[in-house]
Amino acid sequence: MEDEKGSGKFRILLVDDEKDFVDTLSQRMQMRDLSADVALNGEEALELLNRESPDVMVLDLRMPGVDGMEVLKRVKNEHPNVQVIMLTGQGTEKDELEARRLGAFDYLEKPVDIETLVSRIRSGVLLVVGNEDTFSNRLINYALEMAQRMSYRLVALSIAPVPETALKRLSMSEGVKEFEERARQNAQEFARAAEEHGIPFEHIVRYGEYDAVIEQAAKEYGNVEFVVSEPTDKGVAEASKEDGSEKQLYVYSVA
- CATH number (domain holding residue 100): 3.40.50.2300
List the domain range (segments joined by +) for residue 69.
Answer: 12-122
Question: Residue 4 domain-assigned?
Answer: no
Torsion of CA 238, 241, 243, 246, to 10 degrees: 140
pLDDT of 208 higher than 50: yes
CATH of the domain at 238: 3.40.50.620
25 and 93 in a common domain: yes
DSSP string over 64-121:
SSS-HHHHHHHHHHH-TTSEEEEEESS--HHHHHHHHHHT-SEEEESSPPHHHHHHHH
Give per-residue pLDDT as tens, 96-149: 989 988 888 788 988 888 888 887 777 778 999 998 888 989 899 999 988 887
| Listed residues 63, 97, 122: the one ending a domain | 122
Among 154, 162, 224, 215, smallest CA distance to 187 is for 154
Residues 131, 78 share a domain:
no
CB 57 within 8 A of CB 86: no
**69 and 42 in a common domain:** yes
Residues 211 and 98 occupy one common structural domain: no
The H or E element spanning position 160 is strand 153-160
Residues 129, 248: one domain?
A: yes
- Of 122, 138, 160, which residue sits at a domain end? 122
Which of 44-48, 87-91, 210-214 is the most confident on average?
A: 44-48
Domain boundary among 97, 122, 147: 122
Q: What is the pLDDT of residues 142-170, one digit of tens each?
A: 999 888 877 788 999 999 876 655 555 54
Q: Which of 95, 128, 94 has its CA nearest to residue 225?
A: 128
The 10s digit of each residue's pLDDT in 219-242 is 877 678 789 998 765 444 444 444
What pLDDT score was predicted for residue 171? 53
Q: Give the type of residue at 74.
A: R
Based on the fold, state whether residues 111 and 132 are members of the same structural domain.
no
Q: Could you give the number of structural domains in the chain?
A: 2
**Is residue 114 located within the same domain as residue 129?**
no
| 101-112: b (≥16 Cβ within 10 Å) or e | ebbbbbbbeeeb
